[in-house]
A and B are shown apart, each in its own frame.
Chain A
Amino acid sequence: MSNIAKPTQEGSAAKAPAIRCRDVGMTLKKKSILANVTFEVEAGSLTGLLGPNGAGKSTLMRILTGLVPPESGTVELFGAPAGPERLGVLSFLPDRGQLPPYLTAGEWLQLAAGLYPDWSRAAERDLSGKLGVDPAQRIGAMSRGEEARLQLLTCLSRQAPLTVLDEPFTGVDLVSRERIASAVVGEMADGERTFLIATHDIREMEQLFDRIVLVGDGTIRGSHLVEDLRRSGRSVESCYREVFA
């Protein structure tokens, strides 16, 4: 492993926003996916990235996490440019991503402890119980909800200061949703971690968001503090409907 940042925030970087995205653009197969995307996510906050299907949320998530470089613009994580070398400071749950089906949950977690330098065995034990993950079950035999919980467990067992979740509720049953949402709330308790969550399940997460960023047709259609929305008598859902309905 070389040039991978450790999950610590030092000096001025600690004061910088967790994510700073400036004029990000992306074109795939001559089709514009994202254009002039600019927004910031404060450290220690929980931000919702909301938008309809095909809005470019997943591509934006991949760029923010540094998996894919943007064609134009810049992305900074805690004041330093995003990229594969910054994967140590963030924990990413991909949309409909799958873990190796030939491993049991226990084997995967054992490997993950070796793969992620910031892995916390204590968090793993604690969250395994809360999320109801059976370590003896093979991933290939898990239901969607069970695998989603295992994936979230993997993300939250790390000590990375930034957690990015792309559609954590897709295809997940009600009980699993509640477990996932409460695990996120539990992790938010210390106020040190930053969460960016892309989801369609606005009602499920509405009470948790500090800020929402609305993405449509590859552009930012709005960015609001949830508290400001409430003060003006609006909800996240009504704001979403105003923009996209």
Chain B
Amino acid sequence: MKPAPFGYHRATSVEDAANLLSELDDAKILAGGQSLIPLMNFRLSTPAHLIDISNLPELNEIRVDDRSVTIGAAVTHTTLLKTSQVASELPLLVDAEKLIAHEVIRNRGTVCGSLAHADPAGEMTAVIRVLNGAVRTSSVEGERVIQAVDLFEGPLQSSLTETEIIVEAIFPKLGRNSASSFREVARRHGDYAVAGAVSVVDYDNARSIESARTAFLSVGPVPILISFDELLVDAKTSDLGHDEIYEFVSSQLNPQNDIHASADYRRHLAAELAWESLKACV
């Protein structure tokens, strides 16, 4: 239960971090460490070098503009939760944050770190997926933007290259005619969700549903997005039917059995949570 030896490097800038990541063999970025250090304590992860970016002021910024909320790579969950502008501009981020672990973990853990960790049980992976967000990365090769749909490749597997750092995450804001809701079931408050669903519903000016979609956590190797547009377009909100949603979702999800829950139970939970979160958007 102790980490294997590694070399520690405190980056002095994003450029310095990118250079170190390129020069050093088998190096990992350390931000809050709340996912990485447990893996290292168990020796499931044994990087030869850690590059600490947690003290870089340029990564500790939250920017809100007309279109999105952009969160730097050193911003902790607690900082995000306590930023009042985020609560008013994109309340879904706050709804999700309240479900992430416990305050003690949120005090160190970072939003971008949880995205880089690419755990399909992570709330932020589902949020960035349902909002069609993106991450901006940096490396010695230059910068690029990775859309959320392309970021997650499997459990704890992202499409980041070995020399690439997430610099910031971009969460598009919802319009005035959109609603969102997050529902999950965990065995205890703060535990990883057995299943979860985060929904966004867009309305037209006549309050008819234009578009509806749900991203699911803990039911597949990556956060899974299901669009309800073929069911819901032009439907009146009162037409949303439990059985229709339940069947539609369960026919598309293929969760695995594990020690926490059977595949059938997870599928059932996900379908019910999809219904509940969609209903909460109405």
- A and B co-occur in one complex: no
**Chain A interface residues (CB < 8 Å from chain B):** none
